[in-house]
Amino acid sequence: MVDMDIDETIKVPFAESHFSEVREHMYQTINLGFFSPPSVELLKAIIEEKLFESLPLEINREGFQQGLALLRAWFASLDEWNLEDRVAQLNQDYNKLFIDPCQLLAPPWEYVYRTEERATADLTTLKVRKFYGRHGLAYVLKHKEPEDHYSVELEFMAELIRRQSYYLRTGIVKEALYLFKEQQRFLEEHLLKWSLDFTLNVIQNARTEYFQGMALLAHEFLMWDYEFINTEEVV
């Protein structure tokens, strides 16, 4: 591995570790809608941090702004008297969307949406697993979920960005550039192959504005991030 001077290798904002941290934060934020059923504690933390009132990026995509408006309106309707009831509604919605085998409205696994590989669902999961393995990561199955769960793929992107940020701070730019290109590849080969169909399922079937907003936010941010990666001047 060869260390190189940042200014001679890449141009901002890729070369700014802070911007990488902002992207990592955004992946963690959009993942809030998918990694587990919302809890009272989570919602209180979101309210306290005013998470959806002050996102670190200004993204002017129409769908992103629609999602943000839905989330802001939903959180504005909360108070200490209805919080537990609203959490119960979210959990019911989450279960019907992502868990209930008898009424699964928005399956959260890549293999379901990769129609060209539907007959061999394990192949899609295997490809995702190999991508993780290339970076020394092995997803520990929780609740027997496969590695191509939407939440896990978002978490993987956040981890690649976190590592990129570390290498930028320490001046190991060659490795940072490799991770930047790996993010582009993972979006192209996996997340963006099915994110639209999945999030449309969520938007159409969710009964709460929370999940509708999170789905809009998630896909629109992925599209924005992919455009950023492809327009960033990396030399």
Question: What digits encode the pLDDT tens for the residues 94-147?
Answer: 999 999 988 899 999 999 998 665 545 678 888 999 999 999 887 655 546 678
Q: What is the 3-state secondary structure (H, E, C) of 90-114?
A: HHHHHHHHHHCCCCCCCCCEHHHHC
pLDDT of residue 80: 82
* Structural domain 25-231, CATH architecture: Orthogonal Bundle (1.10)
CA distances from 166 to 7, 138, 169, 177 (A): 17, 20, 5, 12
Q: What is residue 4's DSSP assignment?
A: B
The two structure tokens encoding residue 28: 């963690």
What is the rounded CA–CA span in Å between residue 124 and residue 113?
10
Cβ count within 10 A of residue 146: 19
Question: What digits encode the pLDDT tens for the residues 183-193?
Answer: 999 999 999 99
- The answer to whether 179 touches 14, Cβ cutoff 8 Å, is no
pLDDT of residue 16: 61
Q: What is residue 117's DSSP assignment?
A: G
What is the rounded CA–CA span in Å between residue 57 and residue 29?
12
Q: What angle do CA 70, 29, 62 make, to 5 degrees?
A: 40
Q: How confident is the model at residue 3 (pLDDT cuts 50, 70, 90)?
A: very low
What is the rounded CA–CA span in Å between residue 235 and residue 214?
35
Residue 31 or residue 12, greater confidence: 31
- The answer to whether 90 touches 96, Cβ cutoff 8 Å, is no
pLDDT of residue 177: 93
- The answer to whether 212 touches 33, Cβ cutoff 8 Å, is no
What is the rounded CA–CA span in Å between residue 95 and residue 101?
9
pLDDT of residue 95: 96
Query: Closest Cα partner for 60 from 223, 229, 173, 230?
Result: 223
What is the rounded CA–CA span in Å between residue 135 and residue 91?
33
